Protein backbone atom coordinates (compact mmCIF):
# COMPACT_ATOMS: atom_id res chain seq x y z
CA UNK A 1 0.00 0.00 0.00
CA UNK A 2 1.14 3.55 -0.71
CA UNK A 3 1.94 5.58 2.36
CA UNK A 4 3.09 9.16 2.77
CA UNK A 5 6.70 8.02 2.52
CA UNK A 6 6.36 6.43 -0.91
CA UNK A 7 3.55 8.28 -2.70
CA UNK A 8 6.14 10.62 -4.24
CA UNK A 9 6.43 10.04 -7.98
CA UNK A 10 4.00 7.17 -7.76
CA UNK A 11 1.63 6.40 -10.59
CA UNK A 12 -2.00 5.51 -10.07
CA UNK A 13 -2.40 1.94 -11.28
CA UNK A 14 -5.29 0.43 -13.16
CA UNK A 15 -6.93 -2.61 -11.58
CA UNK A 16 -7.96 -5.09 -14.25
CA UNK A 17 -8.87 -8.70 -13.50
CA UNK A 18 -7.21 -8.63 -10.09
CA UNK A 19 -3.89 -7.15 -11.33
CA UNK A 20 -2.64 -3.64 -10.51
CA UNK A 21 -1.06 -2.59 -13.79
CA UNK A 22 0.63 0.44 -15.27
CA UNK A 23 -1.38 2.07 -18.04
CA UNK A 24 0.16 2.05 -21.53
CA UNK A 25 -1.27 5.47 -22.31
CA UNK A 26 0.87 8.39 -23.48
CA UNK A 27 -1.49 10.77 -21.70
CA UNK A 28 -0.73 11.41 -18.02
CA UNK A 29 -1.77 14.11 -15.56
CA UNK A 30 0.02 15.28 -12.41
CA UNK A 31 -1.51 14.73 -8.98
CA UNK A 32 -0.67 17.92 -7.10
CA UNK A 33 -0.62 18.72 -3.38
CA UNK A 34 -2.92 21.79 -3.22
CA UNK A 35 -1.09 23.24 -0.19
CA UNK A 36 2.40 23.11 -1.76
CA UNK A 37 2.04 22.44 -5.53
CA UNK A 38 4.36 19.47 -5.01
CA UNK A 39 3.72 16.76 -7.61
CA UNK A 40 2.73 13.66 -5.64
CA UNK A 41 2.36 11.33 -8.55
CA UNK A 42 0.78 10.89 -11.96
CA UNK A 43 -2.55 9.56 -13.11
CA UNK A 44 -3.09 7.97 -16.54
CA UNK A 45 -5.88 8.81 -18.95
CA UNK A 46 -6.56 5.14 -19.71
CA UNK A 47 -6.86 4.01 -23.32
CA UNK A 48 -10.11 2.68 -24.76
CA UNK A 49 -8.56 -0.79 -24.92
CA UNK A 50 -7.82 -0.62 -21.18
CA UNK A 51 -11.38 0.48 -20.37
CA UNK A 52 -12.73 -2.33 -22.54
CA UNK A 53 -10.41 -4.82 -20.80
CA UNK A 54 -11.71 -3.71 -17.40
CA UNK A 55 -15.33 -4.11 -18.54
CA UNK A 56 -14.52 -7.53 -20.09
CA UNK A 57 -12.93 -8.66 -16.80
CA UNK A 58 -16.04 -7.53 -14.91
CA UNK A 59 -18.31 -9.29 -17.40
CA UNK A 60 -16.32 -12.55 -17.10
CA UNK A 61 -16.26 -12.42 -13.27
CA UNK A 62 -20.01 -11.87 -13.13
CA UNK A 63 -20.78 -15.48 -13.99
CA UNK A 64 -19.41 -16.82 -10.72
CA UNK A 65 -19.79 -13.75 -8.50
CA UNK A 66 -23.55 -13.39 -9.00
CA UNK A 67 -24.05 -16.94 -7.67
CA UNK A 68 -21.48 -16.67 -4.86
CA UNK A 69 -23.37 -17.20 -1.58
CA UNK A 70 -24.51 -14.01 0.05
CA UNK A 71 -22.67 -14.88 3.29
CA UNK A 72 -19.39 -15.04 1.37
CA UNK A 73 -20.04 -11.58 -0.09
CA UNK A 74 -20.97 -10.35 3.37
CA UNK A 75 -17.79 -11.74 4.98
CA UNK A 76 -15.63 -9.88 2.48
CA UNK A 77 -17.37 -6.65 3.53
CA UNK A 78 -16.76 -7.53 7.19
CA UNK A 79 -13.06 -7.97 6.42
CA UNK A 80 -12.97 -4.75 4.38
CA UNK A 81 -14.46 -2.64 7.18
CA UNK A 82 -11.85 -4.08 9.55
CA UNK A 83 -8.99 -3.26 7.16
CA UNK A 84 -10.23 0.28 6.54
CA UNK A 85 -10.46 0.91 10.29
CA UNK A 86 -6.91 -0.40 10.80
CA UNK A 87 -5.49 1.76 7.98
CA UNK A 88 -7.53 4.90 8.65
CA UNK A 89 -4.62 7.16 9.64
CA UNK A 90 -2.41 6.11 6.71
CA UNK A 91 -5.17 6.74 4.20
CA UNK A 92 -6.07 10.06 5.85
CA UNK A 93 -2.48 11.30 5.50
CA UNK A 94 -2.49 10.61 1.75
CA UNK A 95 -5.99 12.02 1.36
CA UNK A 96 -4.93 15.28 3.05
CA UNK A 97 -1.80 15.50 0.89
CA UNK A 98 -3.68 15.14 -2.40
CA UNK A 99 -7.03 16.77 -1.53
CA UNK A 100 -6.06 19.45 0.99
CA UNK A 101 -8.67 18.92 3.72
CA UNK A 102 -7.56 18.74 7.37
CA UNK A 103 -6.45 15.40 8.80
CA UNK A 104 -9.50 15.27 11.07
CA UNK A 105 -11.79 15.93 8.11
CA UNK A 106 -9.93 13.33 6.02
CA UNK A 107 -10.66 10.78 8.75
CA UNK A 108 -14.30 11.92 8.67
CA UNK A 109 -14.33 11.36 4.89
CA UNK A 110 -13.10 7.77 5.40
CA UNK A 111 -15.38 7.19 8.40
CA UNK A 112 -18.52 8.15 6.46
CA UNK A 113 -17.54 5.70 3.72
CA UNK A 114 -16.63 3.03 6.25
CA UNK A 115 -20.17 3.24 7.61
CA UNK A 116 -21.51 2.26 4.17
CA UNK A 117 -19.20 -0.79 4.19
CA UNK A 118 -20.53 -1.66 7.65
CA UNK A 119 -24.07 -1.41 6.31
CA UNK A 120 -23.16 -3.62 3.33
CA UNK A 121 -22.34 -6.32 5.91
CA UNK A 122 -26.14 -6.61 6.41
CA UNK A 123 -26.72 -7.46 2.75
CA UNK A 124 -28.28 -10.78 3.78
CA UNK A 125 -31.33 -8.98 5.09
CA UNK A 126 -31.11 -5.89 2.85
CA UNK A 127 -31.41 -7.97 -0.32
CA UNK A 128 -34.31 -10.10 0.89
CA UNK A 129 -37.30 -10.38 -1.38
CA UNK A 130 -40.99 -10.44 -0.45
CA UNK A 131 -43.41 -13.37 -0.32
CA UNK A 132 -47.18 -13.57 -0.22
CA UNK A 133 -48.77 -16.98 0.12
CA UNK A 134 -52.16 -17.62 -1.44
CA UNK A 135 -52.68 -14.74 -3.89
CA UNK A 136 -55.19 -17.13 -5.52
CA UNK A 137 -56.04 -20.74 -4.71
CA UNK A 138 -52.69 -22.58 -4.55
CA UNK A 139 -50.84 -19.61 -5.99
CA UNK A 140 -47.98 -17.74 -4.30
CA UNK A 141 -46.11 -14.61 -5.38
CA UNK A 142 -42.57 -13.70 -4.36
CA UNK A 143 -39.82 -11.38 -5.46
CA UNK A 144 -36.08 -11.84 -5.96
CA UNK A 145 -33.62 -8.93 -5.88
CA UNK A 146 -31.14 -10.11 -8.50
CA UNK A 147 -27.84 -8.47 -9.44
CA UNK A 148 -27.99 -6.26 -12.53
CA UNK A 149 -24.61 -7.15 -14.04
CA UNK A 150 -21.58 -4.93 -14.60
CA UNK A 151 -22.04 -1.54 -12.91
CA UNK A 152 -19.77 1.53 -13.05
CA UNK A 153 -19.08 4.41 -10.68
CA UNK A 154 -17.65 7.85 -11.50
CA UNK A 155 -16.56 9.93 -8.53
CA UNK A 156 -15.65 13.59 -7.75
CA UNK A 157 -12.56 15.03 -6.06
CA UNK A 158 -14.15 16.33 -2.88
CA UNK A 159 -14.68 12.99 -1.06
CA UNK A 160 -12.11 10.58 -2.51
CA UNK A 161 -12.86 8.01 0.23
CA UNK A 162 -16.55 8.40 1.07
CA UNK A 163 -18.00 8.55 -2.43
CA UNK A 164 -16.21 5.53 -3.97
CA UNK A 165 -17.33 3.70 -0.79
CA UNK A 166 -20.93 4.84 -1.43
CA UNK A 167 -20.73 2.83 -4.64
CA UNK A 168 -18.63 -0.31 -5.01
CA UNK A 169 -19.28 -2.02 -1.64
CA UNK A 170 -23.08 -1.99 -2.04
CA UNK A 171 -22.93 -2.87 -5.75
CA UNK A 172 -20.56 -5.79 -5.14
CA UNK A 173 -22.37 -7.00 -2.01
CA UNK A 174 -25.53 -7.20 -4.16
CA UNK A 175 -23.73 -9.63 -6.51
CA UNK A 176 -22.70 -7.22 -9.28
CA UNK A 177 -19.23 -6.65 -10.66
CA UNK A 178 -17.89 -3.10 -10.85
CA UNK A 179 -15.70 -0.67 -12.77
CA UNK A 180 -14.68 2.40 -10.76
CA UNK A 181 -13.43 5.65 -12.34
CA UNK A 182 -12.05 7.79 -9.47
CA UNK A 183 -11.45 11.53 -9.69
CA UNK A 184 -8.26 12.19 -11.63
CA UNK A 185 -7.41 15.01 -9.20
CA UNK A 186 -6.93 12.83 -6.10
CA UNK A 187 -7.00 9.10 -6.94
CA UNK A 188 -4.26 7.92 -4.54
CA UNK A 189 -6.37 7.58 -1.39
CA UNK A 190 -9.15 5.93 -3.43
CA UNK A 191 -6.57 3.41 -4.68
CA UNK A 192 -5.52 2.62 -1.10
CA UNK A 193 -9.13 1.65 -0.38
CA UNK A 194 -9.22 -0.45 -3.55
CA UNK A 195 -6.03 -2.25 -2.45
CA UNK A 196 -7.75 -3.04 0.85
CA UNK A 197 -10.81 -4.34 -1.01
CA UNK A 198 -8.58 -6.77 -2.92
CA UNK A 199 -6.83 -7.75 0.33
CA UNK A 200 -10.26 -8.34 1.90
CA UNK A 201 -10.91 -11.03 -0.70
CA UNK A 202 -12.85 -9.41 -3.54
CA UNK A 203 -12.06 -11.86 -6.37
CA UNK A 204 -10.27 -10.95 -9.61
CA UNK A 205 -12.51 -9.06 -12.03
CA UNK A 206 -15.22 -8.28 -9.47
CA UNK A 207 -13.76 -4.81 -8.79
CA UNK A 208 -11.82 -3.03 -11.55
CA UNK A 209 -10.45 0.51 -11.72
CA UNK A 210 -9.75 2.74 -14.71
CA UNK A 211 -8.48 6.32 -14.55
CA UNK A 212 -9.16 9.20 -16.88
CA UNK A 213 -11.51 12.00 -17.84
CA UNK A 214 -14.23 12.57 -20.40
CA UNK A 215 -13.15 9.88 -22.89
CA UNK A 216 -13.08 7.15 -20.25
CA UNK A 217 -16.38 8.29 -18.75
CA UNK A 218 -18.05 8.41 -22.16
CA UNK A 219 -16.82 4.90 -22.93
CA UNK A 220 -18.33 3.60 -19.67
CA UNK A 221 -21.62 5.38 -20.44
CA UNK A 222 -21.91 3.85 -23.91
CA UNK A 223 -20.46 0.34 -23.55
CA UNK A 224 -23.09 -2.34 -24.14
CA UNK A 225 -21.99 -4.51 -21.18
CA UNK A 226 -22.45 -1.80 -18.52
CA UNK A 227 -25.90 -2.03 -16.97
CA UNK A 228 -25.88 0.84 -14.45
CA UNK A 229 -23.91 4.04 -13.86
CA UNK A 230 -23.63 5.83 -10.53
CA UNK A 231 -22.23 9.34 -10.97
CA UNK A 232 -21.37 12.00 -8.38
CA UNK A 233 -19.97 15.35 -9.50
CA UNK A 234 -20.87 18.69 -11.05
CA UNK A 235 -24.25 19.46 -12.59
CA UNK A 236 -22.82 19.96 -16.09
CA UNK A 237 -21.03 16.61 -16.19
CA UNK A 238 -23.80 14.80 -14.27
CA UNK A 239 -26.40 15.93 -16.80
CA UNK A 240 -24.18 14.80 -19.67
CA UNK A 241 -23.61 11.38 -18.04
CA UNK A 242 -27.32 10.95 -17.27
CA UNK A 243 -28.33 11.75 -20.85
CA UNK A 244 -25.59 9.75 -22.57
CA UNK A 245 -25.90 6.63 -20.40
CA UNK A 246 -29.71 6.91 -20.49
CA UNK A 247 -29.67 7.02 -24.30
CA UNK A 248 -27.67 3.78 -24.17
CA UNK A 249 -30.29 2.06 -22.05
CA UNK A 250 -28.53 2.14 -18.69
CA UNK A 251 -29.95 2.70 -15.25
CA UNK A 252 -28.38 5.96 -14.05
CA UNK A 253 -28.19 7.95 -10.84
CA UNK A 254 -26.52 11.36 -11.05
CA UNK A 255 -25.85 13.24 -7.83
CA UNK A 256 -24.87 16.79 -8.78
CA UNK A 257 -24.19 20.37 -7.68
CA UNK A 258 -25.93 22.35 -4.98
CA UNK A 259 -26.70 25.66 -3.34
CA UNK A 260 -27.65 24.89 0.24
CA UNK A 261 -29.53 27.35 2.46
CA UNK A 262 -29.93 27.57 6.21
CA UNK A 263 -32.87 29.54 7.63
CA UNK A 264 -32.21 31.26 10.96
CA UNK A 265 -35.29 32.11 13.05
CA UNK A 266 -34.96 34.79 15.75
CA UNK A 267 -35.93 32.27 18.47
CA UNK A 268 -33.01 29.93 17.64
CA UNK A 269 -30.28 29.16 20.17
CA UNK A 270 -27.85 31.88 19.06
CA UNK A 271 -24.54 30.32 20.10
CA UNK A 272 -25.34 26.87 18.67
CA UNK A 273 -26.68 28.38 15.47
CA UNK A 274 -23.69 30.63 14.79
CA UNK A 275 -21.21 27.83 15.51
CA UNK A 276 -23.12 25.54 13.14
CA UNK A 277 -23.23 28.18 10.38
CA UNK A 278 -19.49 28.82 10.55
CA UNK A 279 -18.60 25.10 10.55
CA UNK A 280 -20.97 24.27 7.68
CA UNK A 281 -19.98 27.22 5.47
CA UNK A 282 -16.20 27.07 5.86
CA UNK A 283 -15.36 23.45 6.83
CA UNK A 284 -13.53 21.54 4.06
CA UNK A 285 -12.96 25.00 2.49
CA UNK A 286 -16.60 24.96 1.38
CA UNK A 287 -15.93 22.02 -0.95
CA UNK A 288 -18.78 19.82 0.24
CA UNK A 289 -21.86 19.27 -1.89
CA UNK A 290 -23.82 19.83 1.34
CA UNK A 291 -21.78 22.91 2.39
CA UNK A 292 -23.79 25.89 3.55
CA UNK A 293 -23.84 28.56 0.82
CA UNK A 294 -26.67 30.90 1.86
CA UNK A 295 -27.80 32.01 5.34
CA UNK A 296 -31.36 33.32 5.27
CA UNK A 297 -31.74 35.54 8.34
CA UNK A 298 -35.38 35.92 9.36
CA UNK A 299 -36.44 39.14 11.16
CA UNK A 300 -34.33 40.08 14.17
CA UNK A 301 -31.81 37.26 13.69
CA UNK A 302 -30.01 39.76 11.43
CA UNK A 303 -28.65 41.32 14.65
CA UNK A 304 -26.33 38.27 14.97
CA UNK A 305 -24.40 38.87 11.75
CA UNK A 306 -21.61 40.82 13.49
CA UNK A 307 -20.97 37.90 15.87
CA UNK A 308 -21.03 35.47 12.94
CA UNK A 309 -18.28 37.44 11.22
CA UNK A 310 -16.20 37.57 14.43
CA UNK A 311 -16.42 33.78 14.76
CA UNK A 312 -15.42 33.27 11.13
CA UNK A 313 -12.39 35.53 11.64
CA UNK A 314 -11.01 33.10 14.23
CA UNK A 315 -10.73 30.24 11.70
CA UNK A 316 -7.15 29.29 10.94
CA UNK A 317 -6.21 28.89 7.28
CA UNK A 318 -3.28 26.51 6.81
CA UNK A 319 -2.15 23.28 5.16
CA UNK A 320 -4.42 20.39 6.10
CA UNK A 321 -1.71 18.39 7.87
CA UNK A 322 -0.73 21.29 10.18
CA UNK A 323 -2.24 21.13 13.68
CA UNK A 324 -5.33 23.26 14.43
CA UNK A 325 -6.07 24.05 10.79
CA UNK A 326 -9.71 24.96 10.15
CA UNK A 327 -9.58 25.77 6.45
CA UNK A 328 -7.21 23.98 4.07
CA UNK A 329 -6.56 24.90 0.43
CA UNK A 330 -9.06 24.46 -2.40
CA UNK A 331 -8.23 21.63 -4.79
CA UNK A 332 -6.37 23.48 -7.58
CA UNK A 333 -5.10 26.85 -8.68
CA UNK A 334 -7.90 26.80 -11.28
CA UNK A 335 -10.48 26.28 -8.51
CA UNK A 336 -8.95 29.15 -6.54
CA UNK A 337 -9.13 31.44 -9.59
CA UNK A 338 -12.79 30.51 -10.07
CA UNK A 339 -13.68 31.18 -6.41
CA UNK A 340 -11.81 34.51 -6.52
CA UNK A 341 -13.61 35.48 -9.73
CA UNK A 342 -16.96 34.78 -8.09
CA UNK A 343 -16.01 36.85 -5.02
CA UNK A 344 -15.02 39.69 -7.38
CA UNK A 345 -18.40 39.40 -9.09
CA UNK A 346 -20.17 39.73 -5.73
CA UNK A 347 -18.37 43.00 -5.07
CA UNK A 348 -19.10 44.26 -8.59
CA UNK A 349 -22.77 43.32 -8.36
CA UNK A 350 -23.22 45.30 -5.13
CA UNK A 351 -23.19 42.78 -2.26
CA UNK A 352 -21.57 43.97 0.98
CA UNK A 353 -18.27 42.17 1.61
CA UNK A 354 -18.07 41.72 5.40
CA UNK A 355 -15.11 39.35 5.40
CA UNK A 356 -12.67 38.96 2.50
CA UNK A 357 -10.63 35.76 2.14
CA UNK A 358 -9.08 36.60 -1.22
CA UNK A 359 -5.63 37.78 -0.11
CA UNK A 360 -4.80 35.15 2.46
CA UNK A 361 -1.13 34.18 2.48
CA UNK A 362 -0.08 31.19 4.56
CA UNK A 363 3.47 31.35 5.88
CA UNK A 364 5.51 28.40 4.66
CA UNK A 365 2.83 27.54 2.06
CA UNK A 366 2.90 30.67 -0.08
CA UNK A 367 2.16 28.65 -3.25
CA UNK A 368 -0.95 26.97 -1.77
CA UNK A 369 -4.45 27.45 -3.22
CA UNK A 370 -5.77 29.15 -0.10
CA UNK A 371 -8.94 31.23 0.19
CA UNK A 372 -9.99 32.43 3.64
CA UNK A 373 -13.52 32.58 5.04
CA UNK A 374 -15.53 35.11 3.02
CA UNK A 375 -18.92 36.57 3.99
CA UNK A 376 -21.23 38.69 1.86
CA UNK A 377 -24.27 40.51 3.26
CA UNK A 378 -27.19 42.06 1.34
CA UNK A 379 -27.02 39.39 -1.35
CA UNK A 380 -29.86 39.28 -3.88
CA UNK A 381 -31.05 36.35 -5.96
CA UNK A 382 -29.93 37.85 -9.28
CA UNK A 383 -26.24 37.89 -8.26
CA UNK A 384 -23.79 35.25 -9.53
CA UNK A 385 -22.72 34.49 -5.94
CA UNK A 386 -26.32 33.42 -5.27
CA UNK A 387 -27.01 31.63 -8.53
CA UNK A 388 -23.79 29.67 -9.05
CA UNK A 389 -22.28 26.91 -6.93
CA UNK A 390 -19.04 28.51 -5.65
CA UNK A 391 -17.45 25.41 -4.06
CA UNK A 392 -15.22 27.56 -1.85
CA UNK A 393 -15.42 29.08 1.65
CA UNK A 394 -17.93 31.79 0.74
CA UNK A 395 -21.17 32.49 2.63
CA UNK A 396 -23.93 34.71 1.21
CA UNK A 397 -26.44 36.32 3.59
CA UNK A 398 -29.99 37.24 2.60
CA UNK A 399 -32.57 38.98 4.83
CA UNK A 400 -36.29 38.17 4.91
CA UNK A 401 -39.10 39.08 7.31
CA UNK A 402 -40.97 35.78 7.64
CA UNK A 403 -40.58 32.00 7.47
CA UNK A 404 -42.96 31.96 4.48
CA UNK A 405 -40.68 34.32 2.55
CA UNK A 406 -37.68 32.10 3.38
CA UNK A 407 -39.48 28.98 2.13
CA UNK A 408 -40.59 30.74 -1.06
CA UNK A 409 -37.02 31.93 -1.75
CA UNK A 410 -35.49 28.47 -1.26
CA UNK A 411 -38.18 26.65 -3.24
CA UNK A 412 -37.52 29.02 -6.17
CA UNK A 413 -33.84 28.00 -6.24
CA UNK A 414 -33.29 25.22 -8.79
CA UNK A 415 -31.02 23.09 -6.56
CA UNK A 416 -32.38 20.65 -3.97
CA UNK A 417 -29.54 18.97 -2.14
CA UNK A 418 -29.80 20.13 1.48
CA UNK A 419 -31.39 22.78 3.69
CA UNK A 420 -31.32 23.62 7.39
CA UNK A 421 -33.59 25.43 9.83
CA UNK A 422 -32.56 26.80 13.21
CA UNK A 423 -35.42 27.40 15.64
CA UNK A 424 -36.65 26.45 19.11
CA UNK A 425 -40.23 26.02 17.84
CA UNK A 426 -41.53 22.57 16.96
CA UNK A 427 -44.48 24.10 15.13
CA UNK A 428 -42.21 26.21 12.92
CA UNK A 429 -40.01 23.18 12.24
CA UNK A 430 -43.02 21.08 11.27
CA UNK A 431 -44.32 23.71 8.83
CA UNK A 432 -40.82 24.00 7.35
CA UNK A 433 -40.27 20.26 6.86
CA UNK A 434 -43.63 19.94 5.12
CA UNK A 435 -43.40 22.94 2.83
CA UNK A 436 -39.73 23.04 1.88
CA UNK A 437 -39.03 21.38 -1.48
CA UNK A 438 -35.50 20.11 -0.77
CA UNK A 439 -34.51 16.44 -0.53
CA UNK A 440 -32.52 16.57 2.75
CA UNK A 441 -33.63 18.75 5.65
CA UNK A 442 -31.78 19.50 8.89
CA UNK A 443 -33.65 20.80 11.93
CA UNK A 444 -30.98 22.50 14.04
CA UNK A 445 -28.51 20.43 11.98
CA UNK A 446 -26.57 22.38 9.35
CA UNK A 447 -25.32 19.52 7.11
CA UNK A 448 -28.05 16.87 7.10
CA UNK A 449 -26.23 14.04 5.29
CA UNK A 450 -28.15 10.86 6.18
CA UNK A 451 -26.36 7.91 7.77
CA UNK A 452 -25.98 4.83 5.54
CA UNK A 453 -29.07 2.91 6.69
CA UNK A 454 -31.07 5.76 5.16
CA UNK A 455 -30.26 6.95 1.63
CA UNK A 456 -28.78 10.16 0.23
CA UNK A 457 -31.89 11.90 -1.11
CA UNK A 458 -30.87 15.17 -2.76
CA UNK A 459 -33.60 16.33 -5.14
CA UNK A 460 -34.63 18.62 -8.02
CA UNK A 461 -31.66 20.25 -9.78
CA UNK A 462 -29.17 18.40 -7.56
CA UNK A 463 -30.14 14.94 -8.78
CA UNK A 464 -31.18 13.02 -11.86
CA UNK A 465 -32.57 9.50 -11.55
CA UNK A 466 -35.01 8.13 -9.01
CA UNK A 467 -32.84 6.22 -6.57
CA UNK A 468 -30.05 7.62 -4.40
CA UNK A 469 -26.74 6.19 -3.27
CA UNK A 470 -26.40 3.85 -0.24
CA UNK A 471 -29.13 2.56 2.09
CA UNK A 472 -32.16 0.65 0.83
CA UNK A 473 -32.34 2.77 -2.33
CA UNK A 474 -28.87 1.53 -3.32
CA UNK A 475 -30.04 -2.08 -3.05
CA UNK A 476 -32.92 -1.23 -5.38
CA UNK A 477 -30.58 0.64 -7.72
CA UNK A 478 -28.10 -2.23 -7.97
CA UNK A 479 -30.67 -5.01 -8.34
CA UNK A 480 -33.45 -6.04 -10.68
CA UNK A 481 -36.66 -7.06 -8.97
CA UNK A 482 -37.96 -10.29 -10.42
CA UNK A 483 -41.51 -11.24 -9.42
CA UNK A 484 -42.44 -14.92 -9.51
CA UNK A 485 -46.04 -16.12 -9.42
CA UNK A 486 -46.18 -19.89 -8.94
CA UNK A 487 -48.62 -22.74 -8.65
CA UNK A 488 -47.80 -26.42 -8.05
CA UNK A 489 -50.14 -29.28 -8.98
CA UNK A 490 -50.58 -32.59 -7.22
CA UNK A 491 -51.22 -35.52 -9.58
CA UNK A 492 -54.65 -35.77 -7.96
CA UNK A 493 -55.44 -32.11 -8.62
CA UNK A 494 -58.84 -31.75 -10.26
CA UNK A 495 -58.76 -29.84 -13.56
CA UNK A 496 -60.63 -26.51 -13.54
CA UNK A 497 -60.73 -26.47 -17.34
CA UNK A 498 -59.56 -23.78 -19.74
CA UNK A 499 -59.72 -20.27 -18.28
CA UNK A 500 -59.92 -17.38 -20.78
CA UNK A 501 -60.33 -14.58 -18.22
CA UNK A 502 -57.38 -12.80 -16.55
CA UNK A 503 -58.45 -13.87 -13.06
CA UNK A 504 -56.48 -16.53 -11.20
CA UNK A 505 -58.72 -18.96 -9.38
**Annotated active-site positions, please?**
289
Q: How far is the CB of 483 from ligand NAD (least distance, A)?
A: 31
Residue of the chain from 113, 164, 175, 257 that contacts ligand NAD (CB under 6 A): 257
255 part of the interface to ligand NAD, by CB under 6 A: yes
Q: Report CA 364 to chain centroid distance, whole Å.
A: 32
CB of 255 within 8 A of CB of 231?
Answer: yes
- Nearest residue by C-beta to ligand NAD? 233
* Site pattern 199..238 for ligand NAD (x: CB under 6 A): --------------xx--x--------------xxx--x-
Q: Where are the beta strands (DSSP E) in 238-291?
A: 251-255, 260-264
Residue of the chain from 2, 99, 127, 183 that contacts ligand NAD (CB under 6 A): 183
Q: How many CB atoms lie within 10 A of CB 444?
A: 15
Using CB under 6 A as the binding criterion, the count of chain residues that bind ligand NAD stands at 28
256 part of the interface to ligand NAD, by CB under 6 A: yes
DSSP string, 300-329: GGGGGHHHHHHHHHTPPB--TTSTT-SB--
Collapsed DSSP state (helix, strand, coil) of residue 103: helix
Q: In what order do the strands lie in the sheet with 10-11?
A: 10-11, 39-44, 28-32
Q: How far is the CB of 376 from ligand NAD (least distance, A)?
A: 20
Q: Which is nearer to ligand NAD, 240 or 251 (CB)?
A: 240
Residue of the chain from 157, 178, 242, 282 that contacts ligand NAD (CB under 6 A): 157
* Site pattern 333..372 for ligand NAD (x: CB under 6 A): ----------------------------------------
* Site pattern 126..155 for ligand NAD (x: CB under 6 A): ----------------------------xx
Query: Which among 97-105, 137-145, 157-165, 260-268 is the span making contact with ligand NAD, rule CB under 6 A?
Result: 157-165
DSSP string, 431-499: HHHHH---SSEEES-SS-PPPTTS----EETTEESS--SSHHHHHHHTEEEEEEEEE---TTPPP----
Q: Which is nearer to ligand NAD, 214 or 316 (CB)?
A: 214
Residues whose CB falls within 8 Å of the CB of residue 240, separated by 6 or more in sequence, listed in order: none
Handedness of CA 274, 280, 285, 286 (dihedral sign): negative
CA dist., res. 65 & res. 180, Å (int) = 17
Residue of the chain from 178, 282, 304, 391 that contacts ligand NAD (CB under 6 A): 391
Q: Which is nearer to ligand NAD, 154 or 280 (CB)?
A: 154
Residue of the chain from 23, 176, 340, 462 that contacts ligand NAD (CB under 6 A): 462
User: 209-224: buried (b, 16+ CB within 10 Å) or exposed (e) per residue?
Assistant: bbbbbeebbbbbbebe
- Residues of the shown chain interacting with ligand NAD in the complex, contacts defined by CB under 6 A: 154-159, 181, 183-184, 213-214, 217, 232-234, 237, 240, 255-258, 289, 389, 391, 417, 456, 458, 462
Amino acid sequence: MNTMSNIQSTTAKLLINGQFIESKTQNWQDIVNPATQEVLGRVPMATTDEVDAAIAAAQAALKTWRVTPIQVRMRIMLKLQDLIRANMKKIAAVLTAEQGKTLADAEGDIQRGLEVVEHACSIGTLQMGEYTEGVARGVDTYTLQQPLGVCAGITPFNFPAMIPLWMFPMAIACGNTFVLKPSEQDPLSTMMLVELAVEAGIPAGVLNVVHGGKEVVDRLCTHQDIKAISFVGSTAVGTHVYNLAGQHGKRVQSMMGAKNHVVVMPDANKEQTLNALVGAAFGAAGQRCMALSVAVMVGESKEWIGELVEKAKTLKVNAGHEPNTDIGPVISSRAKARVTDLINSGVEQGATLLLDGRDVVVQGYEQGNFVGATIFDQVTTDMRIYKEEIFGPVLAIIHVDTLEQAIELINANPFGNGVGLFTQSGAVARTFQNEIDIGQVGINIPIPVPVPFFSFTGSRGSKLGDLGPYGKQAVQFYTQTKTITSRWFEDSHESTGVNTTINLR
